Amino acid sequence: MIRGVVFDLDHTLFVCFCTLRAVLPEMYRRMRDSIPDNLSHEDFIEGLIRLEKQHIYHGWGYTGEKLCEAGIFKKGTKGEDVWKCLFTYCWPLAAVEYPFTKPMLRELRTMGMKLGIVTNGDHDLQMNKLRLLNFDGFVDEIVISGDVGVQKPDTKPFEVMSEKLGLPPSELLYVGDNPLNDVEGSRKAGYTPVWVKTIGNWCFEDIERCEYEVDTVAEIPEIVRKMRGEIL
């Protein structure tokens, strides 16, 4: 019996690409000397987002290097400087949520579900996103990899969440967009994984696909009802 649902944060409960469009003007301003003179503000933003989508599962350090290779930044710009600017000065400015996120969480709450978030990242950065999203009261527990000492797909963040919620992994769903960090990590921890196709590509041939796959988290209450035998 499923008694709790745990979510990833980025690309699952809030719209990272829309958020990037909101915060990247600050990067353009701060790193203007490192951006080619002939690259417009609009082309800079769309180029960065396009490369981020392409290399989404490789991390921002890798993406930063690819941005330099693609001419989004001048040759010699360090990838670490790109992501440092993004995480220090840009991400804290805004967070754009999906319109169905909070209604979905409310519905799960009325169904008696315990709710949690397990997210990779720095404590202050991820908590600031949650503050901007005004998620207070919507989930019972939050586990951030920066507080645990290891990142997903390591099973420890999932184990910590299970302990916090007071539920065994077998009674928990984990919902996320990343086949490696979210699907494989939660499966190894004993959760039932649900893949959210917000990025759209399953690019890990060596990872078993999920029994449950959804386009958005708005579908999660229906998944729970099916698993509980309430609907066919």
- Per-residue HEC secondary structure of the chain comes to CCCEEEECCECCCECHHHHHHHHHHHHHHHCHHHCCCCCCHHHHHHHHHHHHHHCHHHCHHHHHHHHHHCCCCCCCCCHHHHHHHHHHHHHHHCCCECCCHHHHHHHHHHCCCEEEEEECCCHHHHHHHHHHHCCCCCCCEEEEHHHHCCCCCCCHHHHHHHHHHCCCHHHEEEEECCHHHHHHHHHHCCCEEEEECCCCCCCCCCCCCCCEEECCHHHHHHHHHHHCCCCC
Is residue 39 in a domain?
A: yes
What integer best gives the mean pLDDT of the chain? 91
Domain co-membership, 127 together with 220: yes
Domain co-membership, 103 together with 217: yes
* Three-state DSSP state, 98: coil
- For residue 4, count other CB atoms closer than 10 A to its CB: 25
Task: Write down the pLDDT at residue 207.
Answer: 84
Question: Which of 160, 69, 198 is CA-nearest to residue 172?
Answer: 160
> pLDDT confidence of 205, banded at 50, 70, 90?
confident
Domain co-membership, 120 together with 173: yes
Domain co-membership, 102 together with 199: yes
State yes or no: pLDDT of 96 exceeds 80. yes
For residues 177 and 8, the answer to whether their CB atoms sit within 8 Å is: yes
Lowest model confidence (mean pLDDT) among 4-8, 78-82, 150-154: 78-82
Domain count within the chain: 2
Across 191-206, average pLDDT: 83
Residue-range definition of the domain harbouring residue 164: 4-15+95-227
Task: Write down the pLDDT at residue 126.
Answer: 94
Q: Quote the CA–CA distance of 219 and 165 in Å, as a whole number.
A: 22
Residue finishing a domain among 93, 117, 137: 93
Is residue 232 in a domain?
A: no
Is residue 200 in a domain?
A: yes
> pLDDT confidence of 61, banded at 50, 70, 90?
low
Task: Write down the pLDDT at residue 19.
Answer: 93
> pLDDT confidence of 58, banded at 50, 70, 90?
low
Residue finishing a domain among 32, 61, 93: 93
pLDDT per position as a tens digit, 134-166: 998 999 999 999 999 999 999 999 999 999 999
